[in-house]
A = this chain, B = another copy of it.
Amino acid sequence: MFIKIDFTSDMPIYEQIKNQIIEGIARGELQNGDSLPSIRDLASEIGVNMHTVAKAYNELKDMGLIAVNKKHGAYIAVSKGYDKEFLNEMMEELTPIVAKAICKGMNKNELIRLIETIFDSFGGREDE
């Protein structure tokens, strides 16, 4: 699991870290129980401040994807299953993107095919 920061990106660094770990989990590279590097190690490895990594880990914990304790450090602990709140959040994030696509003339099938392409790029693991 490598984390690669694009310092020219507009996306905050802590969010790049967060997203790459999320994507690692989605891809199946990071499985429940796998441990993440310590905050200090990861920070020095990618050359950022410790509290930038800490912020990323914190949000991952809040999302229910990792757990942190003093003994084992941070490790993957995915609590699967989504509730209505999660769906609302997804809709809020997706709505402006879908609207933009519609404005630019994308039709439903094109959009779905795009989503499928992205979904399949994660290995298509659907837990069934």
Contacts and interface: CB of A to CB of B under 8 A. Distances in A.
A1 interface: no
User: How many copies of the chain does the oligomer comprise?
Assistant: 4
Residue among A65, A106, A107, A124 with max Cβ neighbours from chain B (10 Å) = A106
Contacts of A101: 82, 90
B100 A22 contact: yes
A77 B122 CA distance: 32
Contacts of A102: 25-26, 119, 122, 125
A120 B94 CA distance: 13
Residue among A71, A77, A102 with max Cβ neighbours from chain B (10 Å) = A102
Contacts of A93: 97
